[in-house]
Amino acid sequence: MKLHLLSLPLLFFFFFLTLSHGLNPKCSIPDRGSTLQVFHVFSPCSPFRPSKPVSWEENVLQMQAKDQARLQFLSSLVAGKSVVPIASGRQIIQSPTYIVRAKIGTPAQTMLMAMDTSNDAAWVPCTGCVGCGSTVFNTARSSSFKPVGCQAAQCKQVPNPTCGGTTCSFNLTYGSSTVAANLSQDNITLATDSIFRYTFGCIAKATGSSVPPQGLLGLGRGPLSLLSQTQNLYQSTFSYCLPSFKSVNFAGSLRLGPIGQPKRIKYTPLLKNPRRSSLYYVNLMAIRVGRKVVDIPPTAFAFNPTTGSGTIIDSGTVFTRLVTPAYIAVRDEFRKRVGRNLTVTTLGGFDTCYSVPIVAPTITLMFSGMNVTLPQDNLLIHSTAGSITCLAMAAAPDNVNSVLNVIANMQQQNHRFLFDVPNSRLGVAREPCS
Ligand SMILES: *[C@@H]1O[C@H](CO)[C@@H](O)[C@H](O)[C@H]1NC(C)=O
Ligand SMILES: *[C@@H]1O[C@H](CO)[C@@H](O)[C@H](O)[C@H]1NC(C)=O
Ligand SMILES: *[C@@H]1O[C@H](CO)[C@@H](O)[C@H](O)[C@H]1NC(C)=O
Ligand SMILES: *[C@@H]1O[C@H](CO)[C@@H](O)[C@H](O)[C@H]1NC(C)=O
Ligand SMILES: *[C@@H]1O[C@H](CO)[C@@H](O)[C@H](O)[C@H]1NC(C)=O
Q: How far is CA 36 from CA 43, 69, 189, 229, 346, in A?
A: 16, 28, 11, 18, 38
| Homologous superfamily of the 27-48+94-256 domain (CATH) | Acid Proteases (2.40.70.10)
Top mean-pLDDT range of 28-37, 54-63, 227-236, 393-402: 227-236
Residue type, 415: H
**Nearest ligand, measured from the Cα of 290:** 5
Nearest-atom index, ligand 4, CA of 341:
1
How far apart, in whole angstroms, are the C-alpha atoms of residue 238 and residue 315? 13
CA nearest neighbour of 102 among 93, 115, 118: 115
Q: For the segment 120-179, what is each residue's pLDDT rounded down to a tens digit?
A: 889 999 999 999 988 999 999 999 999 999 999 999 988 889 997 889 999 988 877 889
Dihedral sign for Cα atoms in the order 258, 432, 294, 400: negative
How many residues in total does the chain contain? 434
> How much is the average pLDDT of 216-231?
92
Do the domains 27-48+94-256 and 266-430 sit in the same CATH topology, yes or no?
A: yes
Q: For the segment 294-310, what is each residue's pLDDT rounded down to a tens digit?
A: 999 999 999 998 888 99
On whether the CB atoms of residues 221 and 213 are closer than 8 A, the answer is: no
CA nearest neighbour of 278 among 116, 71, 119, 115: 119
Active site residue 351: no
How far apart, in whole angstroms, are the C-alpha atoms of residue 173 and residue 74? 11
Query: Would you kindly state where each structural domain of the chain is located, as residue ranges?
Result: 27-48+94-256, 266-430
Most ligand 2 atoms within 8 A of CB, residue of 84, 162, 182 to mutate: 162
CA nearest neighbour of 402 among 71, 12, 1, 60: 71
* Three-state SS letters, 203-252: EEEEECCCCCCCCEEECCCCCCCHHHHCHHHHCCEEEEECCCCCCCCCEE
Regarding the beta carbon of 108 and ligand 1, being less than 6 Å apart is answered yes
pLDDT band (50, 70, 90) for residue 426: very high
Q: Tell me, what DSSP letter sits at residue 175?
A: T
Quick one: pLDDT at residue 90?
A: 32
Q: Tell me, what DSSP letter sits at residue 105?
A: T
DSSP string, 304-362: BTTTTBEEEE-SS-SSEEE-HHHHHHHHHHHHHHH-TTSPPEEETTEEEEESS---PPP
Active site residue 398: no
pLDDT band (50, 70, 90) for residue 265: very high
Rg, Å, the chain Cα set: 21
How far apart, in whole angstroms, are the C-alpha atoms of residue 255 and residue 238? 6
Regarding the beta carbon of 91 and ligand 2, being less than 6 Å apart is answered no
Quick one: pLDDT at residue 323?
A: 94
pLDDT band (50, 70, 90) for residue 256: very high
Residue type, 216: L
| pLDDT exceeds cutoff 90 at 42 | no
Q: How far is CA 315 from CA 6, 53, 174, in A?
A: 30, 25, 15
Element (H, E) at 168: strand 167-174
Quick one: pLDDT at residue 125?
A: 96
On whether the CB atoms of residues 82 and 76 are closer than 8 A, the answer is: yes
Residue 68 three-state SS: helix
| pLDDT exceeds cutoff 90 at 406 | yes
Regarding the beta carbon of 138 and ligand 5, being less than 6 Å apart is answered no
CATH among 3.40.50.720, 2.40.50.140, 3.40.640.10, 2.40.70.10 for 266-430:
2.40.70.10
Ligand 5 atom 10, closest CA: 371
Q: For the segment 45-91, what is each residue's pLDDT rounded down to a tens digit?
A: 777 777 776 666 677 777 777 777 777 777 766 665 433 333 333 33
Name the catalytic one among 31, 67, 116, 351.
116
Instruction: Answer yes or no: pTM beyond 0.85.
Output: yes
| pLDDT exceeds cutoff 60 at 19 | no
Cα 367 to averaged position of ligand 5 atoms, centre (Å): 9
User: In Å, how far from its chain's centre is CA 225?
Assistant: 16
How far apart, in whole angstroms, are the C-alpha atoms of residue 187 and residue 107? 10
How far apart, in whole angstroms, are the C-alpha atoms of residue 304 and residue 71? 18
Prior bond to 107 cis, omega within 30?
yes
Nearest-atom index, ligand 5, CA of 288:
5
